[in-house]
Amino acid sequence: MKKILVIGIGAGNPDHITVQAIKALNRAKVFFILDKGYANDDLLRLRREMCEQYIEGDDYRLVQVRDPAREADPLSYRNGIEQWHEQRAALFEQLIADEVGEDETGGFLVWGDPALYDSTLRILEHVLTRGRQVFDYEVIPGITSVQALAAQHRVALNRIGEPVQITTGRRLARQQGADLDNVVVMLDAQTAFDRFVDQDLHIYWGAYLGTPDEILIAGPLREVCEQIKRTRNAARAAKGWIMDTYLLRRRLE
């Protein structure tokens, strides 16, 4: 039976990759890399470099394909995501059919951890339900940008007796300030944190975590909000893309 490995490769630092992930890299013969179409795509380069660094020998191949563009649905965010996932499922199904032979192993290299804000597992399950391809798959966890953020700012994600919420910028924009005791925010394209500058909050922000281009800013939100927005806009304009994560934390009395 065909085998697919879904390998978490960390937040961008090649040293983040685990021993389990290195062993998994050496089991696969073909790796699928999704090209998002950025002119300067360091994410593609880093994937290739990790393979060259950690795979023994050269009897593997990389298959690079264009990732389907996600079209926004003006009526329903969820419908837009589901349509995008349907396109991805068709692509994954074709890749597995064409590139993975019977009893061979293929791999998807996933930023961070496959279980946190990544669609690969959901899409592979969808491919299986379509019934045209039969395969088994295995998940190898990785270090997330959330962990990298906390490590680089030298903070614990939780305080004594307190929970930690992980959410998206889109949902943060709908929250009330009273709910923001300890919140990690990912996928925030609209800098939703600027809605809360009147709150007594501290922010720990990081972009391109784990990479040579890493940027870190921390401080009272009301003092560093505009600095983060300027820095973020400049970095995105320079590279053509940005991946950032932040922790919002209310100051204890």
Angle, vertex CA 60, rays to CA 114 and CA 118, nearest 5? 10
pLDDT beneath 70, residues of the chain: 37-40, 71-76, 177-178, 253
Tell me which residue of 9, 11, 67, 62 sits closest to 35, measured CA to CA: 67
SS (H, E, C) 155-171: CCCCCCCCCCEEEEHHH
CB 206 within 8 A of CB 187: no
Which residues, 6+ apart, have CB-to-CB distance to 115 below 8 Å? 121, 139, 141
Which residues, 6+ apart, have CB-to-CB distance to 99 below 8 Å? 30, 32, 63, 106
Cα–Cα distances in Å, from 64 out to 48, 100, 168? Answer: 10, 14, 28
Quote the pLDDT of residue 68: 82
Q: 184-219 pLDDT, tens per residue?
A: 999 999 999 999 999 999 999 999 999 999 999 999
Same fold, 2-140 and 145-250: no
Say which residue the tokens 């990479």 belong to.
211
Residues 2-140, CATH architecture: 3-Layer(aba) Sandwich (3.40)
Quote the pLDDT of residue 229: 98
Cα–Cα distances in Å, from 137 out to 37, 112, 154, 239? Answer: 27, 18, 35, 34
Domain boundaries, the chain: 2-140, 145-250
Quote the pLDDT of residue 20: 98
- Fold for 145-250, please state it: 3.30.950
Which H or E run includes 32? strand 30-35
Which residues, 6+ apart, have CB-to-CB distance to 238 below 8 Å? none
